[in-house]
């Protein structure tokens, strides 16, 4: 549809980037990127109207995104160089605009396009050997200044390498090491560093990515104290087991990167976490949420370690009000011997509530003078610790 619409507007349009890579590798990819030789927002608006979807335009960058009701997105960008409109121009010249656009991209596997318009609809444009690199399993930049143009590509390179089990090509590796020694990553804005770390920690093979970042000495760009040692690797292994159990047991999807983030930075104290957050330039609600999750995680580890008597009520008191991601991270740090506790908490304890309610207490003649909360809390505690089990016993306890 996009191709036909573009044609009717006299434009050339291409499918580009990650989606082309993933089609060739037979992976699924939910992000569609379109490059248009011409007015991309105009095409996006027509497409959105046709599909009854929403469109939002970025005037400065001549881009637009079409968002469908179910969240599906199609990004439209105007190709970054002038399109040669001379009708007598040779095909190579006609391709110059999209070729230049692709040349500015990060890696050969991400720099391919599929033509959506014209007689050669469906034609794969692969100017820089992307297909060969997919076959050879190689991450390769297109030119020597790629990491200088955008140092966050050092992190992207790691992410794609571990995701697909590709090796970094020898020349690319040299450039990568050079970029690290020049500390180019220090120039990357905080939000981008934060997002790249979040993406890396969202990968299934994030541990390999962290090890690769360690190998290339990139971890220090997040925090000078950041280290990956055997202890941490063990914690990640426990987390993996816990998450395997969780996804088998429950339907909801955890934001796995959050637990991984907590474990990764578990050694940082408050001051250091604040510094990390300021490096990431995260403020406001985002900061509050992340910091809250992290501090609760650290506090829970500390509290559980201090428990003399590991009672259900004590555990529930500690874990209640925490994000599940923080609870699983805390248990992974505490160690395998605490796994049963987590399972009990997640399957049983957290659902325990008193059977009696305020109305019961009222009909018993207890005046509602602000002690209902206290009574119900004590009933819940006794119930969790199996001191009482029936509603009668709860009422007895309330009376006492
Ligand atoms: N790109 C780039 N340099 C960057 C970021 C992006 O050249 N620093 C280009 C690449 O061509 C990439 C495309 O923009 O394929 C889209 O970027 P993004 O959506 O971040 O990545 P995807 O390749 O779609 O990867 P993912 O599967 O992780 O979404």
How much is the ipTM here?
A: 0.96
Distance (angstroms) between ligand 1 centre and the Cα of 110 equals 7
| Interval 160-210: pLDDT, tens | 999 999 999 999 999 999 999 999 999 999 999 999 999 999 999 999 999
Distance (angstroms) between ligand 1 centre and the Cα of 156 equals 8
Asked whether 101 lines ligand 1 (CB < 6 A), one says no
| Beta carbons of 106 and 153 less than 8 angstroms apart | yes
| Beta carbons of 32 and 38 less than 8 angstroms apart | no
Let me know how long the chain is.
400
Distance (angstroms) between ligand 1 centre and the Cα of 257 equals 20
Distance (angstroms) between ligand 1 centre and the Cα of 390 equals 58
Among the residue ranges 62-76, 94-108, 159-173, 225-239, the one predicted with the least confidence is 94-108
Separation CA 25–CA 164 (nearest Å) = 9
> Dihedral of CA 137/142/147/152: which sign?
negative
31-37 and 73-78 strand pairing: parallel
Asked whether 110 lines ligand 1 (CB < 6 A), one says yes
Separation CA 215–CA 161 (nearest Å) = 14
Asked whether 152 lines ligand 1 (CB < 6 A), one says yes
Asked whether 196 lines ligand 1 (CB < 6 A), one says no
| Interval 304-353: pLDDT, tens | 999 888 889 999 999 999 999 999 999 999 998 899 889 999 998 888 88
Number of H helices, E strands in the chain: 21, 9
91 pLDDT higher than 70: no
Query: Which DSSP helix (H) or strand (E) runs through 335?
Result: none
Q: Where are the beta strands (DSSP E) in the chain?
A: 12-16, 31-37, 54-58, 63-67, 73-78, 113-115, 124-125, 138-139, 167-168
pLDDT of residue 83: 44
Distance (angstroms) between ligand 1 centre and the Cα of 264 equals 25
pLDDT mean across residues, the chain: 91
The C-alpha torsion from 371 through 376 and 379 to 381, rounded to 10°, is -100
Separation CA 278–CA 99 (nearest Å) = 39
**Ligand 1 atom having least distance to the Cα of 18:** 23
Query: Which DSSP helix (H) or strand (E) runs through 323?
Result: none
Distance (angstroms) between ligand 1 centre and the Cα of 182 equals 24
Phi, psi (deg, nearest 5) at residue 344: -60, -45
Measured at the alpha carbon of residue 116, what is the angle toward residues 115 and 119, in degrees to the nearest 5? 80
Asked whether 33 lines ligand 1 (CB < 6 A), one says yes
How many CA atoms within 13 Å lie on the side-chain side of 185?
Answer: 27
Alpha carbon 357 to chain centroid, angstroms: 41
Q: What is the mean pLDDT of residues 76-103?
A: 68
pLDDT of residue 84: 46
For the whole model, what pTM was predicted?
A: 0.90
Higher model confidence: residue 62 or residue 139?
139
Separation CA 340–CA 267 (nearest Å) = 25
Asked whether 153 lines ligand 1 (CB < 6 A), one says yes
């Amino acid at each position: 549809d996009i191709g036909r619409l573009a044609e009717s507007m006299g434009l050339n349009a291409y499918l580009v980037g990650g989606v082309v890579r993933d089609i060739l590798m037979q992976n699924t990819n939910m992000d569609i990127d379109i490059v248009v030789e011409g007015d991309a927002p105009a095409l996006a608006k027509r497409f959105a109207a046709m599909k009854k979807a929403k469109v939002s335009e970025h005037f400065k960058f001549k881009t637009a995104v079409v968002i469908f009701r179910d969240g599906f997105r199609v990004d439209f960008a105007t190709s970054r160089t002038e399109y040669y409109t001379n009708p007598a121009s040779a095909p190579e010249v006609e391709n110059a605009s999209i070729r230049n656009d692709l040349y500015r991209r990060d890696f050969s596997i991400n720099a391919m396009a599929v033509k959506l318009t014209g007689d050669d609809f469906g034609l794969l444009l692969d100017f820089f050997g992307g297909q060969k690199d997919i076959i050879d399993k190689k991450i390769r930049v297109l030119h020597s200044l790629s990491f200088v143009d955008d140092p966050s590509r050092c992190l992207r390179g790691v992410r794609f390498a571990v995701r697909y089990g590709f090796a970094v090509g020898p020349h690319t590796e040299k450039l990568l090491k050079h970029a690290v020694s020049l500390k180019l990553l220090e120039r990357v804005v905080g939000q981008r560093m934060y997002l790249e770390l979040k993406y890396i920690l969202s990968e299934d093979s994030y541990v390999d990515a962290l090890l690769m970042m360690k190998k290339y000495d990139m971890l220090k760009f997040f925090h000078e104290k950041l280290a990956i040692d055997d202890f941490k690797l063990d914690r990640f292994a426990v987390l993996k087991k816990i998450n395997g159990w969780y996804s088998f047991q429950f339907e909801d999807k955890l934001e796995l990167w959050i637990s991984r983030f907590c474990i990764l930075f578990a050694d940082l104290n408050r001051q250091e976490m604040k510094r990390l957050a300021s490096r990431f330039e995260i403020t406001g609600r985002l900061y509050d949420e992340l910091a809250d999750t992290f501090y609760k995680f650290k506090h829970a580890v500390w509290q559980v370690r201090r428990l003399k008597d590991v009672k259900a009520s004590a555990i529930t008191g500690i874990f209640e009000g925490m994000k599940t991601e923080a609870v699983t991270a805390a248990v992974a740090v505490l160690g395998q011997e605490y796994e049963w506790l987590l399972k009990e908490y997640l399957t049983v304890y957290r659902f325990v509530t008193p059977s009696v309610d305020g109305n019961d207490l009222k009909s018993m003649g207890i005046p509602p003078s602000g002690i209902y909360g206290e009574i119900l809390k004590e009933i819940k505690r006794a119930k969790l610790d199996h001191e009482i089990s029936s509603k009668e016993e709860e009422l007895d306890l309330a009376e006492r």
